[in-house]
């Protein structure tokens, strides 16, 4: 452990433990902006001896450095991560065995494998976690749509052997493959150079994703154009180039976006519940940014809780969603949304967290473990 104790009188310690950690920046307890992205000048005073030394060594901090220190001192007190992706997700990197090794390294002893529209890794995860003395919650993350907005619903404690989930994966696979040629056409129209077959070869039988397209283009100079400059080393979107490329070009409303006819939100909730599962809205502040009030509708229409703690929510969103779950007496969850190389700044067991809600969060996790939503 880098720090055994946190000096509550130190502005920088306070920020690292209590303050926001976002690409936009952080504010300490005196309202002093301490850093911004991609790089910001260090400000403020009243540091403890260690933080003062760190400030003297360097008068600026990158987001990478803050995330490194966050991993050391903003400890996940519940030792749980209920949102992890393996290579069975189209944009996941690691096999199940490696996921479990990383959970152990991070001292995460309760975890969920939440692959996109797939349950293929659950049997292996269940077996290996039992051998390692870890608690595993069989889960899935389903793509769906609510009144025109795409979102993800997590399903915990599902009967993963149900044919419903294999039919779901096949359906999504066909729809994504049908959209792939249009994804490539849209990029060509915008001025990108990309070889369709090169992406399919790189996919090795998995679904070709926007992140994979970015990886292929960035890895070979013959595809390089000025449009890729922000995602190359040193560019302003190079911290997580693959996911940033997706967010810039293929997220809803972006220039290369191809709509996919995902199932309705109601159908996703129904599939999870019909198979003994607990439906939870994943990162609601990401999909409903500036439309957070809609999330209460989702709770009223079948969701049993919200993923409050993750790597996307602002401090204000955390407070709002935490209050919303408590007011509605529903479940509060936490998850890193770990993928591997697609989101290289995200690590298993590390996410924004507010210890004021620790008891409620722990109680929610225990209820999910017991499959008790009452």
- From residue 149, give the alpha-carbon distance in Å to each of 60, 259, 320, 336, 371: 38, 11, 20, 22, 29
% of the chain surpassing 90 pLDDT: 78
Q: Tokens 């996790």 label which residue?
A: 365
Q: Are residues 27 and 103 in the same domain?
A: no
Which of helix, strand or coil describes residue 110? strand
Asked whether residue 270 is assigned to any structural domain, the reply reads yes
Q: With helix as H, strand as E and coil as C, how does 151-208 read?
A: EEEEEECCCCCCHHHHHHHHHHHHHHHHHHHHHHHHHHHHCCCCCHHHHHHHHCCCCC
Say if CB 285 and CB 321 are below 8 A apart.
yes
Two structure tokens written together for 101: 């090794």
**Residue 24 pLDDT:** 36
What mean pLDDT do residues 153-158 have?
98
Q: Are residues 145 and 99 in the same domain?
A: yes
pLDDT in tens, 304-320: 999 999 999 999 999 99
pLDDT in tens, 100-133: 999 999 999 999 999 999 999 999 999 999 999 9
Say if CB 28 and CB 19 are below 8 A apart.
yes
Asked whether residue 338 is assigned to any structural domain, the reply reads yes
315 φ, ψ (degrees, to nearest 5)? -60, -40
**Residue 189 pLDDT:** 97
Q: Are residues 355 and 267 in the same domain?
A: yes
Which of helix, strand or coil describes residue 333? strand
Does residue 17 register a pLDDT over 60? no
Q: Are residues 88 and 125 in the same domain?
A: yes
Q: Are residues 199 and 287 in the same domain?
A: no
Q: Are residues 37 and 180 in the same domain?
A: no
Two structure tokens written together for 334: 């936490």
Does residue 258 register a pLDDT over 70? yes
Does residue 43 register a pLDDT over 50? no
How many Cα atoms within 13 Å fall on the side-chain side of residue 259?
6
**Residue 55 pLDDT:** 52
Decide which of 24, 55, 73 is a domain's last residue: 73
DSSP 228: G
pLDDT tier, 143 (very low <50, low <70, confident <90, very high otherwise): very high
**Residue 46 pLDDT:** 55
Say if CB 349 and CB 103 are below 8 A apart.
yes
Asked whether residue 240 is assigned to any structural domain, the reply reads yes
Q: Are residues 270 and 159 in the same domain?
A: yes
The whole-angstrom separation of Cα 139 and Cα 45 is 46
Asked whether residue 4 is assigned to any structural domain, the reply reads no
What mean pLDDT do residues 83-104 have?
97
Q: Are residues 236 and 354 in the same domain?
A: no
Asked whether residue 88 is assigned to any structural domain, the reply reads yes
Say if CB 323 and CB 296 are below 8 A apart.
no
More confident site: 217 or 62: 217
Asked whether residue 254 is assigned to any structural domain, the reply reads no
Two structure tokens written together for 355: 């210890």
Q: Are residues 145 and 264 in the same domain?
A: yes
Asked whether residue 2 is assigned to any structural domain, the reply reads no
**Residue 78 pLDDT:** 79
pLDDT tier, 25 (very low <50, low <70, confident <90, very high otherwise): very low
More confident site: 62 or 226: 226
DSSP 4: S
Asked whether residue 115 is assigned to any structural domain, the reply reads yes
- From residue 96, give the alpha-carbon distance in Å to each of 122, 149, 234, 271, 273: 9, 31, 32, 25, 26
* Residue-range definition of the domain harbouring residue 18: 11-73
Q: Are residues 203 and 351 in the same domain?
A: no
**Buried b / exposed e across 209-248, counting CB within 10 Å, b at 16+?**
bbbbbbbbbbeeeebeeebbeebeeeeebebbbbbbbbeb
How many domains, in total, are found in the chain?
3
Q: With helix as H, strand as E and coil as C, how does 32-66 read?
A: CEEECCCEEECCCCCCCHHHHHHHHHCCEEEHHHH
The whole-angstrom separation of Cα 135 and Cα 219 is 38
The whole-angstrom separation of Cα 181 and Cα 135 is 41
**Measuring CA to CA, which residue among 115, 32, 59 is closest to residue 282?**
115
Q: Are residues 141 and 280 in the same domain?
A: yes
Does residue 187 register a pLDDT over 90? yes
Decide which of 24, 56, 73 is a domain's last residue: 73
Decide which of 249, 276, 306 is a domain's last residue: 249
pLDDT tier, 138 (very low <50, low <70, confident <90, very high otherwise): very high
């Amino acid at each position: 452990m880098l720090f055994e104790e946190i000096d509550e009188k130190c502005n920088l310690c306070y920020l690292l433990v209590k303050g926001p950690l976002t690409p936009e920046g952080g504010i300490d307890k005196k309202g002093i902006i301490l850093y911004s992205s991609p790089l910001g000048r260090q400000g403020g005073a009243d540091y403890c001896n260690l933080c003062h030394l760190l400030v003297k060594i360097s008068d600026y901090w990158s987001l990478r450095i803050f995330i490194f220190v966050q991993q050391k001192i903003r400890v996940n007190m519940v030792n749980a991560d209920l949102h992890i992706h393996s290579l069975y997700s189209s944009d996941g990197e690691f096999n199940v065995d490696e996921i479990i090794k990383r959970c152990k390294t991070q001292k995460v002893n309760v975890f969920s494998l939440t692959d996109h529209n797939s349950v293929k890794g659950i049997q292996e995860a269940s077996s290996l976690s039992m051998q390692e003395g870890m608690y595993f919650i069989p889960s899935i993350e389903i793509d769906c749509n609510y009144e025109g907005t795409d979102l993800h619903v997590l399903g915990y404690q599902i009967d993963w052997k149900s044919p419903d989930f294999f039919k779901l994966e096949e359906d999504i696979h066909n729809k994504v493959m049908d959209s792939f040629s249009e994804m490539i056409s849209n990029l060509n129209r915008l001025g990108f150079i990309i070889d369709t077959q090169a992406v399919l070869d790189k996919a090795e039988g998995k679904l070709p994703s926007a992140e994979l397209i970015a990886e292929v283009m960035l890895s070979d100079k013959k595809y390089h154009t000025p449009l890729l400059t922000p995602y190359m080393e040193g560019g302003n979107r190079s911290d997580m180039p693959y996911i940033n490329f997706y967010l810039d070009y293929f997220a809803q409303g972006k220039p290369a976006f191809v709509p996919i006819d995902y199932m309705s939100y109601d159908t996703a909730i129904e599939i999870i519940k019909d198979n003994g599962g607990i439906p939870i809205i994943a990162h609601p502040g990401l999909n409903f940014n500036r439309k957070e009030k809609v999330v209460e509708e989702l709770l009223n229409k079948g969701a049993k809780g919200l993923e409050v703690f993750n790597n996307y929510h602002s401090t204000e969103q955390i407070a709002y969603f935490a209050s919303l779950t408590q007011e509605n007496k529903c479940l509060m969850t936490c998850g890193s949304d770990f993928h591997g190389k697609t989101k290289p700044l995200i690590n298993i067991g590390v996410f924004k967290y507010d210890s004021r809600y620790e008891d409620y969060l722990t109680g929610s996790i225990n209820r999910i473990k017991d499959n008790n939503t009452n």
